[in-house]
Amino acid sequence: MKLYFHPMSGNSRRVLLVAAHLDVPLERVVVDLTQGEQRGAAHLARNPNGHVPVLDDDGFVLWESRAIMQYLADKTPGQTLLPTDARGRADVNRWLFWCAVHMAPANTVLVFENFVKALTGRGAPDPAEVARGTGLVAKYAPILDAHLAGKTWVAQDRVTLADYSLAASFALAGPARLPIGDYANLRAWLGRVQELDAWQRTAPPAPPAAARG
Ligand SMILES: N[C@@H](CCC(=O)N[C@@H](CS)C(=O)NCC(=O)O)C(=O)O
């Protein structure tokens, strides 16, 4: 299986985390987002959205990171990252959708303003966008923080796709200056995910100094 990805992309990271956890070998193909390769004809043919990640499993081409996570889990006999019973699966899906619709987009505003712009030489953060992203993180991060009180993992009392999906959206918390300092449960949980073997095995290279926050 081939994964078209970029090493600094949080959306790619969540797929890499699941593949590492499940020991699914992936041939990694970098799409250079810093050079606009995602908007070239070859990549648009794989994903008309011009985004990474994209999985190619022997001609079956799949985009959307959480769909790819589920596909890898479904293909792996005996996996425990995605429950097979209706309620367990719904519980994990609840957090996957919440991540996709609320938490990750909130974090992405600040990742773009405080990290991607520096990485790609697109100028200073826009204060209005920083204020908007800060407001969105302040709206959603406390929900995750409160949910994690007294819990080790987000769903099902074990590591699931929910943890990898959400943690990947916080992967650039430092350089993106995500305002999560007040959320002790969230930070402790993120620390636990970051200690997992899959996290260590998928660490991206250090970004250039200008984008380190
Ligand atoms: N909902 C998509 C989002 C994918 C996405 O936004 N990927 C970013 C990288 S983290 C991208 O490819 N950006 C390129 C661009 O916007 O030009 C997913 O989960 O896969």
Write the DSSP string, 109-137: HHHIIIIIHHHTT--SPPHHHHHHHHHHH
Q: Please report, as a single letter, which amino acid is at residue 162.
A: A
Domain boundary among 74, 105, 122: 74
Examine the domain organization and report whether 169 and 111 are in the same domain: yes
Whole-angstrom distance, CA of residue 126 vs CA of residue 18: 34
Domain boundary among 53, 74, 95: 74
Examine the domain organization and report whether 8 and 98 are in the same domain: no
Examine the domain organization and report whether 128 and 93 are in the same domain: yes
Confidence of residue 12 (pLDDT cuts 50, 70, 90): very high
What's 78's DSSP letter?
T
Q: Tell me the CATH number at 39.
A: 3.40.30.10
154 within domain boundaries: yes
Examine the domain organization and report whether 35 and 120 are in the same domain: no
Strand 2-5, strand 54-57: pairing: antiparallel
Ligand 1 in reach of 38 Cβ (< 6 A): yes
Q: Whose CA is nearest to atom 11 of ligand 1?
A: 51
Polymer length of the chain:
213
Whole-angstrom distance, CA of residue 62 vs CA of residue 3: 10
Q: Which domain range does residue 131 map to?
A: 86-203
- Tell me the pLDDT of the chain averaged across its residues: 96
Q: Tell me the CATH number at 124.
A: 1.20.1050.10
212 within domain boundaries: no
Q: Is residue 98's pLDDT more than 80?
A: yes
Examine the domain organization and report whether 70 and 90 are in the same domain: no
Average pLDDT over residues 168-182: 97
Q: Is residue 106's pLDDT more than 90?
A: yes
Average pLDDT over residues 186-199: 98
The model's pLDDT over 144-169, given as tens digits with 9 standing for 90+, comes to: 999 999 999 999 999 999 999 999 99
36 within domain boundaries: yes
Q: Whose CA is nearest to atom 6 of ligand 1?
A: 51
Ligand 1 atom closest to 64 (CA): 20
pLDDT over 70 for what percent of the chain?
97
Of 106, 122, 105, 125, residue with least CA distance to 114: 125
